[in-house]
Amino acid sequence: MTEARPQEFEGRLAQGKDWREIVAWVGDLPPMPQVAAKAIVMVEDPDTTAQKLTDLLSNDTALAARVLKIANSAMFSRQREITTLNQAVMVIGFKALKGIIVAATLRQLNKKFGKLEKMVWENSMCTAMGATLLCRKLKRPYHEEVFLLGLLHSLGQIVFLTQDDTSKDYKLVLSKIQSEGLRYNEAEQETFGFAHPLIGALVAKKWNFSADTCQVILHYCDPVDGAKPDGELEEKIALVQLADLISHAAGIGTPEGYPDGQEAIGKLIDYLGFEAPNKEEFVQEVLTQTREMFEAEGAIYS
C-alpha cells in the first residue's frame, strides 16, 4: 500500500521531488537544544515555578546570558534593569519568556552569522516586532504569541543556512531575487524545489510546537482569500505576513532587488480590518514605528 503524502506538502513541491526525502532530511536535522526544549515545555505547565525555570536555564550559560540580554529590551522589560535570571522569569512572565527562549535558541543556531545569516535574522526580529505592534493596533490580546510567530516565520530559512547541502546554494536564491524580483519563497522554490515555509513548519512540528504555530509558518506566504479572516488562526497568519512585508518595505533584512510588496500590504490592511481612513499614511506610520523599534532594539537580539 502506498503511503499517503502529508497534507502540508500539497502544492509545495516541484515536480520530481519526493516528499519522503524531505521528511528524511528534516528527520536528520538536530533537535532543539535540550535545555530550550525543556524550558518551552515547562512554560506551558501550570505547575512550573519561577525557581524551577531559573534552575533549568542556569544549566545552559550561553542561553541564560542571551535570555537575560533579551529580557532587558523595551519589548519585555518593565522599566527597570533585570540583573538575574530569576528576576527575568518573575518580571516578564512565562508567556513572554517562551518568545525570548525561542529568540535566543534561533540566534544560537546561526553559528556562522555572515552577511546573509544576519539579514535573515534581522528580518525574523523585525517581523516579530512588527507583528507585535500590529496586534496591539488591532487591540488583540495575543501580542506575545504573535511575537513568537513572527520570529518563527523564517525558521526554514535559518535551517537552510545551517545545513551544508542547502547553504552553499543559497547564493542562487539571492541571485534570482536580484535578477527576477522574486520573494524569498519563490526563489527558493525555483532553486530547491521547495521553500522555507514548508521546511519551517516541518521543523516546528519536530520541535513539538503547536499545530497552529506550524500552520502559521506554513501559510504565511500564501495569498489571503476572502474579505476578512475566518477565525483567529487566519488573522494570525495575515498579521505575520503583513509584518514580514513591512519589514522588507522598511529595508530591514532585505536583499537587493526584493519586491516592495505595496499592493499586498494594502490588501492585508483591508483584510485585517484596520481603521485607516488614509491607507498611505497608516502604512507610513507603521513603517516608521517598526523601523524605530528595530533600530532601538535590534542590537540586543544580535
φ, ψ dihedrals at 227, nearest 5°:
-85, -25
Identify the pLDDT of residue 249.
Answer: 93
pLDDT beyond 70 at 301: no
pLDDT beyond 60 at 269: yes
Alpha helix (H) ranges present in the chain? 19-28, 34-44, 50-57, 61-71, 85-92, 94-109, 115-137, 143-152, 155-162, 164-167, 170-180, 184-192, 196-206, 211-219, 232-249, 262-272, 279-301
As a whole number, mean pLDDT of residues 143-165 equals 91
* Domains of the chain, earliest start first: 30-109 (no CATH), 112-302 (1.10.3210.10)
Q: Which residues does 71 contact at the CB level (< 8 Å), separation at least 6? A: 77, 82, 88, 91, 92, 100
The whole-angstrom separation of Cα 89 and Cα 39 is 11
pLDDT beyond 90 at 62: no
Grid cell digits, residue 35: 535545555
Identify the pLDDT of residue 152.
Answer: 93
The whole-angstrom separation of Cα 95 and Cα 176 is 39
Q: Which residues does 204 contact at the CB level (< 8 Å), separation at least 6? A: 152, 155, 213, 214, 217
The whole-angstrom separation of Cα 285 and Cα 25 is 42
What tens digit of pLDDT does each residue of 14-61 get?
988 989 999 999 988 888 888 889 998 898 888 999 899 999 999 988
Range of lowest pLDDT (33-37, 173-177, 211-215): 33-37
The CA-atom distances, in angstroms, between 233 and each of 10, 66, 214 are 19, 30, 11
Residue (of 295, 285, 185, 293) closest to 241 by Cα position: 185
Q: Which residues does 91 contact at the CB level (< 8 Å), separation at least 6? A: 71, 77, 78, 80, 82
Cβ atoms 266, 281 nearer than 8 A: no
As a whole number, mean pLDDT of residues 75-86 equals 76
Identify the pLDDT of residue 78.
Answer: 61
Q: Average pLDDT, whole number, for the chain? A: 88
Identify the pLDDT of residue 1.
Answer: 46
The whole-angstrom separation of Cα 222 and Cα 58 is 40
What does 279-295 look like in DSSP terms, one character per residue?
HHHHHHHHHHHHHHHHH
The whole-angstrom separation of Cα 302 and Cα 103 is 10
